[in-house]
Chain A
Amino acid sequence: MKKYTLALVVLSFAAANAHAFCGFYVAKGDAKLFNRASQVAIVRDQNRTVMTMANDFQGSARDFAVVIPVPTTIERGQIHVADKALIDHLDAYSSPRLVEYFDPDPCAPPMMPMVVAQSGAMREEMTLSKTRDRARSLGVTIEAKYTVGEYDILILSAKQSNGLETWLRENGYSIPKGASAVLGSYIRQNMHFFVAKVNLGEQARLGFSYLRPLQVAYESPKFMLPIRLGTVNANGAQELFVYVVTPRGRVETTNYRTVKLPSDVDVPLFIRDDFAPFYKALFSEQVKREDMNAVFLEYAWDMNWCDPCASEPLTTDELKRLGVFWQGKGTFLTRLHVRYDRPHFPEDLVFQETGDTRQFQARYVLHHPANAGHCDAAVTYRRELHERQEQEARNVVRLTGWKIGTMRQKMHLASAVTGPHEKKWWETIW
């Protein structure tokens, strides 16, 4: 049996380019904004939920506004602004990772294992022109209005979607075509809304150059994430990363298939430098393979530890700031990744927590060949090495859909077939 010297180098790939809200952008003026990806952290136990929504809004903060549906009425204290670093840390901690092993010299005596770990995570004045009376005449009630951090928040309840749509338009929000129907169905399901806009004065005073994630805490049996509004003004498919922290175990979607991302696969050494494109291609290929009908599990782990660690687990303080409100129970993280559009994901994501505490991580393995010397074992080693490298190339092709020829070229595989010291097979017979 082969034994490899163990050395871990963890390269993690974060939700790059990600980051919008699960609601939809409503830009003032004609700015064309598309929310292509979101990062949402959901902390949930029993019926209590704390949702943190991070965004990578790239336009002028003046243009930023978002409408977020929530299952219950919410009060002032239920909306909060979180630290972006929390989401970044969650991302880094749960990212797909690359693990390295070094083959031992087949001609040398066994070596003591060496462990090297390294993590490198690749990784925003509400002006109301109309009065509350106008809102009321449209069936829209402004339940509350206040400023949280750099955001001006309006908590709305509405009786009819066209009233809400009219109110939003009259107040300068660009409502994407088709949003009214979605808003209408949410209203009928007793959903409520809040609108967040950047208060430029507060933002300047606080000194943030980016938009911090919004947090909302509510109590509702609905364990779901509204994605339908997000598909209204989206130009093509969107990327969504959902980090769910629960006390018991893994979380899965109940109305869509949850599929584990391929893991524990040996890949060629060049992936070390091409991990980001590899992971993107891998994810795209898996989405394609599942006909874009699945939600992918990328990480499921008790948050007290990790192995190997792409980043250290979140501290108790970080978990608390993320919204973990319970004590004396576990904190299990599930990272779900979904690429969705309206035709394939017609309804909102509905989740359930399972009792599954088995760990899962998207992990890809590199094996560094040994610089084998001259011995009989080295000949066998080189032959097996070539077979292994060929298999690694095929693994990448299977995972990413890349061309086998390109893989072999990048791996200089042809030259690995017959090394200068290697004998032909028949030379070893007699």
Chain B
Amino acid sequence: MKHNDSHRMKRVEWKMKRNTVIKIILGLVAVVISLPVYLLLTGSLQSNVELTQSLRPVLSDAAGMAGFHLLPNHPTLRGYVELFFDKPEFYMAFFNTMKIVLLTLAGQLLIGVPAAWAFAAFTFRGRKLLFTLYIILMLLPFQVTMLSSYLVLQKISLTNTHWAVILPGICSTFPVFLMYRSFCAIPKGLLEAAVIDGAGEVQIFFRIGIPLGSGGILSCFILGFLEYYSLVEQPLAFLKDKSLWTLSLYLPEIGLAQAGYAFAASMAALAPALFVFLFGQEYLEKGIISSAIKE
């Protein structure tokens, strides 16, 4: 008996040590992964002078290697001051981005939620085929449908407007797929009971479907926000006027000559996405998992 006990104790000890080692390794991985964001943060708190000094070999043709202060030597809010008071272009780009994101998400919810409900709650001829089509469309990269979108938008003279990005975004089939998954989880018995009680289609949708599927809808919103906030290909292809540009197109133009401003602007552009991510991480994870795991 005593031998068994000490054997078990040794196993527990070994497990704890192993877990600590695992934590350290995974922790280091986490630090490395977070490094780019951390560099952005510290860079945004450094002055132009400090940044130009450390990054001279990259900014000009100087010899030697660039460095970077992991902690600012002279922390300053100069970059942010310049950003908030001196740069209407940034506000414009930010406004454009939010306009596109919010209108796209609103449209997606408006036409996507009922469509997902239709796929989940109704049976009709061709349902499986249609849904497979939706899945294929969801998985095709932008470059395949780029030309077709362009041709339509050109016909209705919407190229070089924000609608060129918003409208195709609203018709994306990914939200339909995601919300379909969460609507599928609603027990059919509940729906049948509602029908027996005399509820109409619309009533069932609003009283049962939406409340019980709200998790999926929220996941859609969060995944969608992160996706449309960082769009690059669509604005690049369809928005010619600089006044229409989104943050994704504006930020790379800033350039390292205005290093302080560039860092602050990048950080400020990152903030809303970070905020949405941290607020909705739980729904983000649920959304990721439900789009993948077969029930």
Q: Do A and B bind each other?
A: no
